[in-house]
Structure 1
Amino acid sequence: MPFDLGDTVRLAADSTDPGGTLTNATGVTLTITLPDGTTATPAVTNPPAQTGKYSCDYVTTQAGRHSVRWLFTGPGSAYTDVFDVREAVPPLLFSLADAKKHLNIVSTADDDELRGWIESTTRAVEWFVGPVVRRTVTERHTFGCAPVRVLRQIPALSLVSVTAVLTGGVGYQVADLDLDGDTGEVQRKNGGLLTGPLIFTYTAGRTIIPANIRDGGKLILQHLWRTQRGSLRGPVIAGADDYAVTEPIPGLGYAIPNRALELLEPDRLPPGVA
């Protein structure tokens, strides 16, 4: 499960001799490769409190995939691993408290796992209806002159900037542009052409999340939560479950229950829009 940005991650590895017996190493190096390609080499206590059992606490500073490599010498051994860190404000369709209320969960034991499923649910919902959670989008449009450019993520709330890709190219002031947020169409108010290539930075998402999108997401979450925990709660049988999937959905298979799809239908993106 991913960590929150700023969390302390406890990294651990065992040092063993060629026969597999835990042994303190003469030297130990821990190297963490961060998402931006830089590395960190935090100090590791040696000898450890327990023979051969090494650990180090690392405070995360970047979102993304981290790789971890332990290298022991005297005797020589190594261990590699990875961990993920969420962005500072990950897109979440609803809160952990709302999810637990819908699933009738009181315990806090599964909170971290459930948060991960909320992120997956949000991604699935946005596959159908476009951005729900507000976020800043930066995208490049490489074709030449055109009266209209169409942003790829809709609904779009506002333009932040429109700048030229090439040195000496033409950029535009957002006050001089008209944005149709529902279609993503951008055009000049004076009717002139937009000359590219251009980089559009804009805000996408929804100011108010409609009830059908929110509740459709809750049905998806409930379906995913129940099916992946089937060994504990029994299998979900199609036709016997109000949330069951009766046929696969192109691109998503059986991940989305039909009732959720029906709720999302009024806000589904037009064909060909992704």
Structure 2
Amino acid sequence: MSIVTLAEAKQQLRIADTDTSCDDEVQAYCDGITAVVEDYMHEVVEPRTVVEDVDGHRHFGRRFRLWSVPLISLTSVKSVYTEYEWDVSLMRPDPQTGLVRVLSGPPVRGLVEVTYQAGYEDVPVNYKRGALVVLQHNWETRRGVGALRSSVVGPEEIHNPHWMYSIPRKALEWLGSPRVVVG
């Protein structure tokens, strides 16, 4: 899965739709950039199923935290050691924090396996634009197009060469501040 489509990537890179000579390479860049953006933002962007083990002994079994956010929906909460499965309709997940509260029914105890959907149902436009800037920057540095002051890396990048490698400053401005992760 990728944040940007092959067609969007080719348009950003100014590759004609009819030119399919590098489609596999461009698609590989698109697929890789999704992970780069997700790592930087500390959140899941492309929707997917996540399976996570949670220790239900904390907080007396009435709440637990899931780490892949934003959280779209809970699918199941099952005990790892027994056959027991909790009713997820009796739980209230917070999409942004991943905190799940057990509203009624038995508390979640022991080690449990939680299956859920995480990501954005609609990828934010600024994430998509930021991903396209990352794509263009990495494409040009890999293929030798342009110099330090090319269309992606401008004079504002020179003061901090750390950001010039995979995620240029222009992309960081599109993406915004990453989500704060608190343990």
Given the two structures, how large is their TM-score scaled by the length of structure 1? 0.59
Q: Match of 2:168?
A: 257
Q: Match of 1:122?
A: 34
Q: What secondary structure sits across from 1:259 in the alignment?
A: helix
Provide the rounded CA distance (Å) in 1 between the counterparts of 2:133 and 2:7. Answer: 15
Provide the rounded CA distance (Å) in 2 between the counterparts of 1:242 and 1:148. Answer: 49
Shift of 1:243: 2.7
Q: Match of 2:150?
A: 241
Give 5+ residue unaligned stretches, structure 2: none
- Alignment counterpart, residue 51 of structure 2, candidates 132, 135, 138: 138
- Alignment counterpart, residue 98 of structure 1, candidates 8, 17, 21: 8
1:156 aligns with 2:71: yes
- 8 Å contact kept, 1:171–1:198: no
Percent of aligned positions that are identical:
32
Aligned AA (1:256): I
Q: Match of 1:108?
A: 20
- 8 Å contact kept, 1:145–1:196: no
Q: What secondary structure sits across from 1:123 in the alignment?
A: helix
Provide the rounded CA distance (Å) in 1 between the counterparts of 2:56 and 2:106. Answer: 16
Provide the rounded CA distance (Å) in 2 between the counterparts of 1:265 and 1:272. Answer: 18
Provide the rounded CA distance (Å) in 1 between the counterparts of 2:105 and 2:72. Answer: 21
Shift of 1:194: 2.4
Q: Match of 2:137?
A: 223
Q: Match of 1:10?
A: none
| Larger displacement relative to structure 2 (159-168 or 190-199) | 190-199
- 8 Å contact kept, 1:159–1:201: yes
Q: What secondary structure sits across from 1:216 in the alignment?
A: helix
Aligned AA (2:176): E
Q: Match of 2:80?
A: 165
Shift of 1:113: 0.6
Shift of 1:209: 1.2
Q: Match of 2:93?
A: 179
- 8 Å contact kept, 2:70–2:97: yes
Q: Residue by residue, what CA displacement relative to the aligned partner does 1:11-41 show, whole Å, maximum 9, x if unpaired?
A: xxxxxxxxxxxxxxxxxxxxxxxxxxxxxxx
Give 5+ residue unaligned stretches, structure 1: 1-90
Greater strand percent: which structure? Answer: 1
Count of aligned positions: 173
Aligned AA (1:104): R
Provide the rounded CA distance (Å) in 1 between the counterparts of 2:37 and 2:95. Answer: 19
Aligned AA (1:99): A
Aligned AA (1:101): Q
- Looking at both structures, which has the greater relative contact order when contacts are Cα pairs under 8 Å and sequence separation is at least 6? 2
Provide the rounded CA distance (Å) in 2 between the counterparts of 1:191 and 1:164. Answer: 15
Provide the rounded CA distance (Å) in 2 between the counterparts of 1:187 and 1:141. Answer: 13
Shift of 1:171: 2.9
Shift of 1:142: 3.1
